[in-house]
Structure 1
């Protein structure tokens, strides 16, 4: 599914925008982290993922999701990049850094550009029930250095909705591309006890605590033996795309207009998360 498309910053995506038309929309779509991403046509039952956080860079605002949602060899043809949300088209993929193996600088993340007239609010929602943790408004994020074993997190996904669990370990995960039980490509993710399933990929991983709702990462895979979720931490997502996380300055503010600085928690309250470099078979969601 993906080809190498590596760049150091979101600034480079401006060069890609001219190649994909962005039609006008009659009524603006307001994206929220957790909204479904149906690919190709509305409510496609066979090809969908979940939208992650809105991020901003020098060339605008984009929605994050898992890169493998668009394949493992770069961007697919234009028609296969169109993304539909809860009721209508809202954008199209303009960058996919998943080329299969992280040892070749692959990163399982993609960026979706909103169509003209659409916007995003950084409010985490369950796509199945439309509920949010607290008021849902994202106030900041936890950096990698702040994670500890047992760190409680939740995720939103199009298939399984709102599920919760805790961080376990950093893990080399292997994907069996040929059906022979052998790990052909590897990734390095943060794993957890959170349940997830096909279609949850790209969804927001979050935490609700005294700081409010905090971004943690985006869903990528599950371990085959346990069915438990592994994800790319939000710090890695932001670093990869040269982006920052817009947060709420006031109720109703959009992610494209917010100038508030995110709260960033860097200190952990317990031991460091253990690392397991022995590959464990996993499945992309």
Structure 2
């Protein structure tokens, strides 16, 4: 996930909608970090998760698999900071620093982009497809205009920020990862423009 302030001035974070109790509904899901549902680890509550709309026959659509949660006031949410591990594609989950978001941008085909996730850490690869209408396996959900990246992913990486490194630790935010192929060699993410079209304008740095 990445931290953000919404258009109403609420400070919180964006993560994958399917990680909430009900995808496509603002159901007030409570989030804890790392895993235990105890008050000391409470970090926030979902407040925005737009409904699906009917699209192709028998399908329901959205432009992003993303929601917004209000952060708990007892937790510090630093805008623009993304955890950084030692190197891309080495499997490390040890945080050694942070990336700093300097802006937002769309992807271009063939561009090298990155994600940092809970399961596979920092992975990096090239954008192979842009703006693909993507069916979600085992469901009638279609996510419109999504991007594909030839880079590692694993179960539990959903919600990872996707970004391009400008130089050093400076990055441009591109979106939120929500899925991948069964072999874990390709991931799919919702572009930041799609996310903001559904959640409203976000301040991310």
| CA–CA distance in structure 2, aligned partners of residues 53 and 101 of structure 1 | 30
Residues 29-48 of structure 1 correspond to what in structure 2 (within 5 A)?
A: none
Task: Please state which structure has a larger fraction of its residues in strand.
Answer: 2
Structure 1 contact 100–185 (Cα < 8 Å) conserved: no
Matched, 1:186 2:142: yes
TM-superposed deviation, 1:209: 1.7
Structure 1 contact 202–219 (Cα < 8 Å) conserved: yes
- Residue-pair matches, total: 184
| CA–CA distance in structure 1, aligned partners of residues 55 and 5 of structure 2 | 22
Greater Rg, structure 1 or structure 2?
Answer: 1
Match of 2:114 in 1: 154
| CA–CA distance in structure 2, aligned partners of residues 238 and 73 of structure 1 | 15
Out of 47, 64, 70, the residue aligned to residue 14 of structure 2 is 64
| CA–CA distance in structure 2, aligned partners of residues 172 and 161 of structure 1 | 27
Measured at CA, do residues 153 and 74 of structure 1 come closer, stay the same or move farther in structure 2, by a change above 3 Å? same
Secondary structure at the counterpart of residue 130 of structure 1: coil
Structure 1 contact 55–64 (Cα < 8 Å) conserved: no
Q: Deviations over 1:91-134 (max 9, x none)?
A: 111222264877645231111111123231121104821134xx
Matched, 1:95 2:55: no
Matched, 1:172 2:125: no
Matched, 1:110 2:67: yes
Q: TM-score, with normalisation over the residues of structure 2?
A: 0.77
| CA–CA distance in structure 2, aligned partners of residues 238 and 190 of structure 1 | 16
Out of 186, 192, 196, the residue aligned to residue 238 of structure 1 is 196
| CA–CA distance in structure 1, aligned partners of residues 203 and 104 of structure 2 | 8
- What 5-or-longer segments of structure 2 have no aligned partner? 35-39, 86-92
Matched, 1:52 2:9: no
**Cα RMSD between the aligned structures?**
2.6
Out of 120, 124, 128, the residue aligned to residue 77 of structure 2 is 120
- What 5-or-longer segments of structure 1 have no aligned partner? 1-50, 179-183, 248-285
TM-superposed deviation, 1:225: 6.4
Secondary structure at the counterpart of residue 172 of structure 2: strand
